[in-house]
A and B are shown apart, each in its own frame.
Chain A
Amino acid sequence: MPSFGFEEVEHTADLALKVHGHSLEEIFANAACGLFSLMTDLGNLSPSVHREIHLGAPDRESLLVDWLNELLYLHEVEEEIYTRFEIETLSSTTLSATAWGAKMKDSKLTVKAATFHDLKIRETEDGYLATVVFDV
């Protein structure tokens, strides 16, 4: 498994991430880490703010898209970058989590949204695998 649990995969126009996790909670946290690592170098940031997030969705794929788009919304209006994610409760339709981050300094990329394209959360031998395509 790659470090941080995510890897960028080839996509002609946009960006796609393959996300690995031992549990669904890890899939959600790693996908969020992957998203923000596309935007900036997370190594330089020490968390100083946190946002509590509660979401409901009809299925777990929608919940993953909602989670990532919620973080993108907060990133833009609060001007923050998030680096650490605690998934407190997670079912296939609800999520409670805390995102830890800091005020945004330099960001190299605007991610417009997480999309439903090709989105699947699959069970693997050692956990779960998800692919998420972002519009950039």
Chain B
Amino acid sequence: MVNKKDMKRITDYLYEIPKEYREDMRVPARIYADEKLLEATLRDRSLEQLVNTATLPGIVGYALAMPDIHQGYGFTIGGVAATRYPSGVISPGGVGYDINCGVRLLISSMEADEVKPYIRTLIGSLYRNVPSGVGQKGSIKLSPSQMDQVLEKGAAWAVKQGYGIQGDLERIEERGAMAGAEARAVSSRAKERGKNQLGTLGSGNHFLEIEEVVEVYDEKVADVFGLFPGQLAVQVHSGSRGLGHQVCTDYVRSLQEAVKRYHIELPDRELVCAPLDSSEGRDYFAAMAGAASYAWANRQCLTHLTRRTFEQVLAGKVKNWDLTTVYDVAHNIAKIEEYEVDGRRTKLCVHRKGATRAFGPGQPELPEVYRAVGQPVLVPGDMGTASYVLVGTEEAMKASFGSTCHGAGRVLSRKAAKKQIRGDKLKAELEAQGIQVRAGSMPGLAEAAPDAYKDIERVVDVVQRAGLARKVAKLRPLAVMKG
């Protein structure tokens, strides 16, 4: 276990585990946290996992952890690892099983107050119209050729089928389809699992929330993002479903042989990887990019179902029930990006596992409408408190490979949460606070209880003070739907 004495304090919000801590580390590890969040991190094995990622061949700079860091398997959750392209490695474990698990934020031109009388009906209808929970199928059945198109064209495929508008695509990371995606690299098993899951939310921590913008911190940027106080918003949190799980399973397994072939020594088998320029590395990247595109298509279909439900419930009752996409971000992904390394522009493979891209102003990858201010960063909190919209910064481009936090981060195990918190009691408590809840499983609801997470305000405060992103707006849930 890593101890506090093994660490060096760099600033009030940044700590370092030096390269000398363990012989096999290729770079130091750095953790963005304040004293209190650091204490929480020392209680589980997340820092040991962070040190393990610092051993990856080709890793550049630091193995980084965001303040929402918590223990995962292989890589820590809330971690960022950038490897040199193409001589460094790519690791499926550095992305995780839910490839491109991510968030989309939709906003309405309405004030939340206008819709509050219909919130119960809205969340009830969303619960009926949006398939959620374990093993739920959607209404879209993909033929083999349609599946290949989804994997390579992503959200654009969904928009072409009528599940959205062109304007949505402008405001999705990678425009909703990741370059380099190849359907041939995705196994028939993964395609089988994904063929009837498009437009389904899933279970676990996935959710659909109706929210109100309760605070605006930066009026200028909020205005560019289209946000105003009192506004009605919707947040969708889902990923690549069984298809992504199978892609990761397939490649974690097949790369077990590759590490032997390339003589890569690893402290944990879940960190398996392959050089980016090897056939195994290229195949995984192509499959991962395909699964990421599938996830963007999925959130596009979920957006469509949400819009249709809003129309069903609100037509004739309010003037304008339209929902506009603010942005859609990935929380689990590996991407080829360029950064300054030792004074030279260098191509890197940035693994973000439970971390969000947070590009600062001027980046050509950003939609024109946001380019002057920076990228919207969506940080969902737990269902009882708040979520944040942040904006990416120049500092993040220099310090964290354009990355920041992705959520609150767990502190309580699912087992402990279920033991301490009863789902039905939690539902009643949230409803007493004015938050409507629909959930497929009460134990499942208890696992994601607010007490199971770190304080989101503190997490967001640290990334702001460290300069990795700036607060733009805060959203409070009005109704939550969980699988």
Contacts and interface: CB of A to CB of B under 8 A. Distances in A.
Interface of A: 8, 10-15, 39, 58, 61-62, 65-66, 69, 72-73, 76-77, 79, 104, 107-110, 112-113, 115-119, 133, 135-136
B410 A12 contact: yes
Given A108-B444, A112-B245, A116-B268, A12 B44 contact: yes
Contacts of A112: 97-98, 245, 248
A12 B71 CA distance: 6
B269 A12 contact: no
Contacts of B257: 58
Given A133-B73, A136-B204, A77 B413 contact: no
B192 interface: yes
Interface in B149-184: none
Nearest to A12: B71
15 contacts: A10-B413, A11-B413, A12-B46, A13-B413, A14-B73, A72-B249, A79-B135, A104-B135, A109-B441, A113-B245, A113-B249, A115-B270, A116-B268, A117-B73, A117-B268
Given A76-B193, A116-B272, A108 B72 contact: no
B55 to A, nearest CB: 15
B203 A11 contact: no
- The secondary structure that dominates the A interface is loop
B316 to A, nearest CB: 37
Nearest to B203: A110
Interface string B426-451: 00000000000000010110000000
Given A58-B256, A108-B441, A109-B134, A77 B414 contact: no
B135 A116 contact: no
A73 to B, nearest CB: 6
Interface of B: 44, 46, 70-74, 77, 93, 96-98, 134-135, 189, 192-193, 202-204, 242, 245-246, 248-249, 252-253, 256-257, 268-270, 272, 410-416, 441, 443-444, 483
B11 to A, nearest CB: 26
Given A73-B193, A109-B441, 13 more contacts: A10-B415, A11-B71, A11-B413, A14-B73, A72-B249, A76-B193, A108-B134, A110-B202, A110-B203, A116-B270, A117-B72, A117-B270, A119-B269
A66 B72 CA distance: 20
B72 A107 contact: no
A57 to B, nearest CB: 8
A97 B92 CA distance: 29
A45 B98 CA distance: 29
A102 B97 CA distance: 26
A63 B257 CA distance: 13
Contact of B443 (A58, A69, A108): A108
Given A10-B415, A110-B203, A136-B204, A115 B252 contact: yes
B134 A117 contact: no
Most buried by B among A10, A13, A76: A13
Given A69-B249, A116-B252, A77 B411 contact: no
A47 B97 CA distance: 30
Contacts of A73: 189, 193, 246, 249
Nearest to A77: B192
A116 B203 contact: no
A86 B412 CA distance: 36
B202 A117 contact: no
Nearest to B440: A108
A39 B134 contact: yes
Contacts of A61: 269
A76 B200 CA distance: 14
B415 A14 contact: no
Nearest to B269: A116
B134 A107 contact: yes
A10 B272 CA distance: 24
B268 A118 contact: yes
Given A65-B253, A113-B97, A12 B411 contact: yes
Contacts of B245: 72, 112-113, 135
Contacts of A115: 73-74, 93, 252, 270
Contact of A76 (B242, B253, B412): B242
